[in-house]
Structure 1
């Protein structure tokens, strides 16, 4: 499930891309849900864990969705029989004025403009979510949905 971190720096918007340690590719914040979590709860938890957030941030659900074959997940063996496809939901995370601390799943972060971030992302679903986020920011169309990472 991609989470697209962004921040506003003056009149500009920058987007964070993270370099995965295990696959050496650039992506958005990713990760799946745990038992009983809604997609929004999983998105909030993963964003907080992977970005080391220690304060409340805004989380925005995006319309972008994708499907990933279950065979690409190591945990597939413990999932219910007949699970062949996993739904991927997308969210945006506003990190304006917030410092991140990467977890050990990533080796680097880059804050880039839309075109540069889009070119660097490895997965189509990440590029689709980033494109939607970019258009929504241009249209000032990000209604606040849920707060996450309150300590």
Structure 2
């Protein structure tokens, strides 16, 4: 799963904290909306030779911490492991011992680190949309 830190949004999140439960709902729904385009970027950057794996990447749980922080996960978790495990091995690399007589045997590292690169590509999009979504939601509540 990818984790993106939201730096520079302290004022917005401080206002959300001051709103209590309404602010909690705004933060979670805004983060989920912001993560959708980010997930599409990650899917686009996933290795193409992994069958249905990249189509099964998903937005996972969103957690709220006592200090007011939010953490949203996306990518691979226990619920989509079977469909996406090949992407995990592509990210970290693996040893192919070959099942076919003429198959390549050895260390496969063509796509090592692809998920980190894809997450970095999605980060700015997610943060920009998150800022817009939180701002819109606060405008609605504060009117």
Question: TM-score, normalised on structure 1?
Answer: 0.28
| Structure with the larger strand share | 1
TM-score (norm 2): 0.29
In terms of fraction of residues, the more helix-rich structure is 2
